[in-house]
Chain A
């Protein structure tokens, strides 16, 4: 890890961005929790305890950086299926996520109806999503439009992969938001692959952020493994949105360290060397080192946090494992609003 020691004279980067030490540590905690949940999700699937897992490993830094630049409870989040760090920061609990993984009745995302990774929680303003990708982008625009009409001071924050940026809904949504100068932030988590198809076979332009100019909005490219840089650009985008200056497209560049999902063998289309190379660039240990170099963190503190989070995740798994399944006939419920 090549991190320059930070001189005490020099202002710490998170301070210069307006983040307190406690917040800086909280961001790390959220990422680490997401990663632990994610790793356990894979194991649970391999062990036959759950049917499916889809991972966000390697993308936590961009997600957490963005989440802390937003205002949970005020802003609307339209996540995609890898956004464990984002939904945790917005108030979803490890139990909530495990209830979804186990498809149990108490799952607040869908009551055990949707695959894991299909987040939704109205009280937390996490908007329900589906599997056909990019459909959430016009929804985010509609929420931003409604918020503007109602004079509510909030933004609508939506994420998607670079593969999704090829969909019509991406184009239609960004164009609409730009025309109406809506308080929306579009963050592409460019993890280099749409399942097996690499970036250069998906996109003709060098960068996803370049597409912004076609919509008349700023396009910002940021290292998605640099949590504080992502925080900075999302915060700026939020301020622009709240000033009424319209939407921003952010491309957070990163790498999907895991297969697409538990149903995928990624070594069929990429090499172990390539994955190992990117593992060394993982933003999570990089940020841990930053915290240590800043004098905020230590290996002892890290071990303590590891133990605490391991216990939390274990509790969540035990809880979800024991929780009852939905009643079979609940399959018939909630097609329409209940009759009064």
Chain B
């Protein structure tokens, strides 16, 4: 085991896979000489050359579309979108193309591409460097979508995404890059796509989340256990498409009270689908209404510190929501 930051775990996954498979390559804006605007690809070009760590023109649809073409050829491209906010010019390539290539060709062609996209706020990024755009892609069959929260999951899910036979969008939370550290095995491993993970056992209330707010939920749960004897059960979805129905239902039935937490705004978000799955299967096992704690339904979070803080979730907001539902 080695202690890595979240960003180091992402870099390590790309490095290990590039070492293992000459078909794996990275392309995107500033990924080469600079090593990425966040440093995610730092050192990779020195090691694997300009072709395999390719600085591209500033054109997101081409970054995605070229990666899709290369994937159809048989390569394993990792296309980096500099910020998830800038993915939208590539949505036609991702949704009309990558997601449908296997289906529309009746399984003749496939598109094993990874689209990495730094998402989320809390970094004074303003409207266009802070968004969580997963709901734009969520509900598009043919795509897989992952959003790890820990270094272990970040590495294991990226390796799994690169080896996956289908397109995977890999949302990495910018605020986790340096802030989150954890143990990562030295040997090769994957975290299977489509499997949620219980990050904390508890019997009073279930919290279902993904991404940065997982850490708020875990901190809040520890404090509530110590201070108020409320034991929260915390399920980290890790993969948001396809959702791990079994794990969601198991976690919900464990306590009968469900709080869903995500940074993306509430309306049309992943949480609504999670709630629907529980409502369809377990309504009469619930002891309280399903609650959602999410971003506000405003276009995106503003940069001013007061406004960003107001928008962002934090430990105290999650703690209050857990307490309220636990006492219902």
Contact = CB atoms under 8 A, between A and B. Distances in A.
Contacts of B68: 138-139, 142
Given A135-B65, A138-B93, A173-B65, A113 B104 contact: yes
Interface string B118-153: 000000000000000000000001101000000000
Contact of B62 (A110, A118, A175): A175
B92 interface: yes
B264 to A, nearest CB: 24
Interface string B307-318: 000000000000
Nearest to A174: B62
Interface in A312-327: none
B108 A128 contact: yes
* Most A-side CB within 10 Å, residue of B51, B61, B96, B142: B61
Nearest to B62: A172
Interface residues of B, number: 42
Interface stretch (B72-80, B244-252, B270-278, B295-303): B72-80
Nearest to A184: B69
A333 B51 CA distance: 36
A83 B119 CA distance: 41
Given A127-B109, A147-B73, A149-B51, A336 B102 contact: yes
Contact of B109 (A128, A132, A145, A176): A128
Contacts of A121: 108
Interface residues of A, number: 45
B142 A336 contact: yes
A139 B55 CA distance: 18
B69 A120 contact: no
Contacts of B257: none
Contacts of B57: 172, 175-176, 179
B72 A130 contact: no
A137 B69 CA distance: 9
Contacts of B51: 148-149
A111 B107 CA distance: 9
A138 B102 contact: no
B189 interface: no
A148 B50 CA distance: 13
A169 interface: yes
Interface in B68-96: 68-75, 77, 89, 92-93, 96
Contact of A175 (B52, B59, B97, B141): B59
A241 B70 CA distance: 18
Interface string A67-84: 000000000100000000
A140 B65 CA distance: 9
Contacts of A198: none
Contacts of A112: 106
B273 to A, nearest CB: 17
Interface string B160-178: 0000011000000000000
B6 interface: no
A142 B96 contact: no
Contact of B105 (A109, A132, A135, A144): A109
Contact of B106 (A110, A140, A148, A176): A110
A113 B107 CA distance: 11
A334 B69 contact: no
Nearest to B56: A176
Considering residues A130, A142, A169, which has the most beta carbons from chain B within 10 angstroms of its beta carbon? A142
A172 B141 contact: no
A333 B108 CA distance: 12
B73 A120 contact: no
B109 A141 contact: no
A122 to B, nearest CB: 5
Contacts of B65: 135, 137-139, 141-142, 169, 172-173
Nearest to A172: B62
A114 interface: yes
A120 B109 CA distance: 8
B115 to A, nearest CB: 13
B110 interface: yes
A135 to B, nearest CB: 5
Contacts of A333: 107
Contact of A142 (B73, B144, B166): B73
B22 to A, nearest CB: 9
Contact of A114 (B75, B104, B165): B104
A2 interface: no
Contacts of A244: none
Nearest to A130: B96
Contacts of A113: 103-104, 106
Contacts of A107: 106
A208 interface: no
Interface string B285-299: 000000000000000
Interface of A: 76, 107-114, 118, 120-122, 127-128, 130, 132, 135, 137-149, 156, 168-169, 171-173, 175-176, 179, 333-337
